[in-house]
């Protein structure tokens, strides 16, 4: 692998074992090596750093998404609305500064979470987190996560979702927005007001300012999904009024996609309020929603009942290590009845070929690197650890899918990390070091 590659571990020592297939090696501490002639090599030779080098210098805060004009258009609508004083609105129930972003008609089109208003960001409008930092620094934050990079985790989850074609995360990207409704420091507000005044009074001086308004905030922008409700709400409803068989199957398939996503990114915050469901029930003759199968013959089927899942709030994922025993951050979906059903053939067909392809994994890691390196606090060592956890999760998931396990079995597997290390003598070879967590910290009570 290239010397400059971000994916070469700072770890220099690796135990040298012979070549083997990564997914077959399950012995703690054993090493899996990928040969110099492996299919991943051609891609490895491509420069990994600064893929966009050579572009002309441009406004670093411009929201440009050449590969996604639809997303660009939605962000443009949001910018336009802000110019027309239709400001993003704070989501009050959240533990940090999150905002519903609107279009010029006041319709919600996105959810924006600025980096500096995250739970542990400097400008988090919720003072309880600030108090926690002050009074109880040892319990501050989740020590398995990179602090204050939730917006990248949100965008990273969307990236993983897209690459695996899961289609459950509303598209999320890193965006810059400025709005009067965001939480700014008094200094920023005074500066902005001063500049405006100067522009009005002495236009010649004012024109020399680089920027007049409030400074744009970097954050995650997730597309707003309409007509969805917390999974908690619907799951309770479905307990009382069971779904028709076909719809139930749809729910199961969507649920499996959530499991795959959460497990790979090792989401530490997947309560049943952090995924949404949309259930389009069939209608009766009066146009009322009907969901009881026994009245089925009396329905006028306006449309097939459709169930869709949206995985939102992915800001607390991509940990640098597996959670420890006293703060396990379980996946709350593991308690649901759906988690006791073996993975379907559909999900295996969708993800197994990708997860077993070394090129796919390498590509995924490189894309995550391109995304995560944007943060001013980016740390290559930490990134390696995040990737090592993700590789371990992928290894377990692949095994579970091959072995026809259930999601519940999956979460009971001992956590693994897979680190890359360059063999000292042969600079062109790359090896993976697998290590297993010695304890089985969570889900042992099942």
Residues that bind ligand ATP (CB under 6 A): 91, 93-96, 98, 111, 170, 222, 224-225, 228, 273-274, 312-313
In the list Mg ion, ligand ATP, none, the entry touching 314 (Cβ below 5 to 8 angstroms by class) is none
C-alpha closest to that of 180 among 106, 114, 264, 82: 82
Please, which residue, 258 or 351, has the CB nearer to ligand ATP? 258
Question: What torsion do the CA atoms of 351, 353, 359, 362 make, to the nearest 10 degrees?
Answer: 30
Closest contact distance (angstroms) between CB of 267 and Mg ion is 11
Closest contact distance (angstroms) between CB of 312 and ligand ATP is 4
Please, which residue, 169 or 243, has the CB nearer to ligand ATP? 169
Please, which residue, 22 or 276, has the CB nearer to Mg ion? 276
Please, which residue, 331 or 369, has the CB nearer to Mg ion? 331
Closest residue to Mg ion, based on beta-carbon distance: 313
- Which of the ranges 195-203, 310-318, 390-398, 402-410 carries the binding residues for Mg ion, by CB under 5 A? 310-318
In the list ligand ATP, Mg ion, none, the entry touching 282 (Cβ below 5 to 8 angstroms by class) is none
Closest contact distance (angstroms) between CB of 249 and ligand ATP is 25
Q: Is the dihedral of CA 73, 79, 83, 88 positive or negative?
A: positive
Q: Provide the angle, in degrees to the nearest 10, between the axes of the packed helices 380-402 and 358-372.
A: 150
Please, which residue, 319 or 392, has the CB nearer to Mg ion? 319
What does the H/E/C string look like for 225-265? CCCCEEHHHHHHHHHHCCCCHHHHHHHHHHHHHHHHHHHHH
Closest contact distance (angstroms) between CB of 384 and ligand ATP is 27
Buried b (16+ CB within 10 A) or exposed e, 236-256: eebeeeebbeebeebbbbbbb
In the list ligand ATP, Mg ion, none, the entry touching 267 (Cβ below 5 to 8 angstroms by class) is none
Please, which residue, 312 or 410, has the CB nearer to ligand ATP? 312
Site size for Mg ion, by CB under 5 A?
2
Closest residue to ligand ATP, based on beta-carbon distance: 94
Q: Is the dihedral of CA 382, 48, 75, 269 positive or negative?
A: negative
- For Mg ion, which residue of 313, 366, 419, 430 counts as binding (CB under 5 A)? 313
Site for Mg ion contains 154 (CB under 5 A)? no
In the list ligand ATP, Mg ion, none, the entry touching 328 (Cβ below 5 to 8 angstroms by class) is none
Q: Provide the angle, in degrees to the nearest 10, between the axes of the packed helices 345-355 and 245-265.
A: 20
CA 79 to chain centre: 24
In the list ligand ATP, Mg ion, none, the entry touching 96 (Cβ below 5 to 8 angstroms by class) is ligand ATP
Tokens found for residue 410: 């999956």
Distance CA 384, CA 7 (A): 7
Closest contact distance (angstroms) between CB of 97 and ligand ATP is 8
Between the alpha carbon of residue 301 and those of residues 107, 240, 282, 285, the distances in Å are 30, 22, 6, 9
Burial class (CB in 10 A: 0-12, 13-18, 19+), 379: middle
Which residues 332-361 are close enough to bind Mg ion by CB under 5 A? none
Please, which residue, 113 or 391, has the CB nearer to Mg ion? 113
In the list ligand ATP, Mg ion, none, the entry touching 160 (Cβ below 5 to 8 angstroms by class) is none
104 touches 81 (CB < 8 A):
yes
Closest contact distance (angstroms) between CB of 362 and ligand ATP is 30
Which residues 252-291 are close enough to bind Mg ion by CB under 5 A? 274
Please, which residue, 96 or 338, has the CB nearer to Mg ion? 96
Tokens found for residue 59: 């406004």
- Which of the ranges 48-56, 139-147, 209-217, 308-316 carries the binding residues for Mg ion, by CB under 5 A? 308-316
Binding residues for Mg ion (CB under 5 A): 274, 313
């Amino acid at each position: 692998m290239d010397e400059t590659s971000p994916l070469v571990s700072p770890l220099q020592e690796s135990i040298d074992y012979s070549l083997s297939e990564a997914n077959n090696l399950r012995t703690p501490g054993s090493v899996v090596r990928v040969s110099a002639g492996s299919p991943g090599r051609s891609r490895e030779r491509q420069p990994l750093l600064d893929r966009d080098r050579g572009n002309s210098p441009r406004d670093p805060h411009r929201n440009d998404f050449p590969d996604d004009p639809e997303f660009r258009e939605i962000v443009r609508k949001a910018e336009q609305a802000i110019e027309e004083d239709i400001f993003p609105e704070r989501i009050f129930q959240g533990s940090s500064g999150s905002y519903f972003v609107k279009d010029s008609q006041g319709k919600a089109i996105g959810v924006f979470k600025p980096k500096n208003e995250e739970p542990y960001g400097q400008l988090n409008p919720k003072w309880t987190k600030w108090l926690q930092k002050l009074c109880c620094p040892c319990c501050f934050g989740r020590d398995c996560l990179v602090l204050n990079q939730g917006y990248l985790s949100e965008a990273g989850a969307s990236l993983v979702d897209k690459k695996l074609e899961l289609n459950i995360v509303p598209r999320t990207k890193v965006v810059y927005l400025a709005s009067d409704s965001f939480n700014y420091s008094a200094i920023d507000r005074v500066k902005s007001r001063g500049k405006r005044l100067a522009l009005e009074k002495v236009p010649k001086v004012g024109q020399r300012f680089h920027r007049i308004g409030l400074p744009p905030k970097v954050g995650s922008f997730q597309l707003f999904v309409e007509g969805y409700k917390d999974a908690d709400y619907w799951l309770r409803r479905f307990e009382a009024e069971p779904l028709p068989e076909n719809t139930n199957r749809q729910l199961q398939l969507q649920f499996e996609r959530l499991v795959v996503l959460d497990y790979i990114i090792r989401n530490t915050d997947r309560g049943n309020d952090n995924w949404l469901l949309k259930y389009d029930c069939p209608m009766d003759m009066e146009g009322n929603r009907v969901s009881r199968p026994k009245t089925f013959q009396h329905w006028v089927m306006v449309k097939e009942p459709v169930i869709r899942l949206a995985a939102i709030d992915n800001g607390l994922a991509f940990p640098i290590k597996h959670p420890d025993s006293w703060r396990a951050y379980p996946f709350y979906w593991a308690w649901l009845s759906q988690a006791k059903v073996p993975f379907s053939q559909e999900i295996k067909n969708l993800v197994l070929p990708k997860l077993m392809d070394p090129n796919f994994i390498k590509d995924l890691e490189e894309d995550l690197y391109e995304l995560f390196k944007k943060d001013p606090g980016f740390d290559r060592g930490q990134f390696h650890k995040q990737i090592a956890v993700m590789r371990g999760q992928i290894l377990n998931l692949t095994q579970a899918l091959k072995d026809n396990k259930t999601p519940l079995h999956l979460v009971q597997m001992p956590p693994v990390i897979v680190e890359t290390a360059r063999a000292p003598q042969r600079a062109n070879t790359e090896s993976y070091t697998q290590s297993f967590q010695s304890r089985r910290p969570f889900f042992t009570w099942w």
